[in-house]
Amino acid sequence: MKGNAQPAVFSRQIAMYLAKHVGGWSTTAIGKFYNGRHHTTVLWALQRIDSLRARHDKIEGLLFSLTKEIQCHHLQNRSEPVPSISTATERHLLSLGLDDDFLEFLTDRIADRLKSRGTQ
Q: Helix, strand, or coil here: 47?
A: helix
Note the pLDDT of residue 108.
Answer: 73
Distances (CA, A) of 72 to 4, 29, 36, 84, 101: 30, 23, 29, 12, 16
Against a cut of 0.75, is the pTM above it? no
In order along its 120 residues, the chain shows pLDDT tens digits of 455 667 788 989 999 999 998 888 999 999 999 889 999 999 999 999 999 999 988 888 889 888 888 877 766 666 554 444 444 444 444 454 555 666 667 777 777 776 776 654
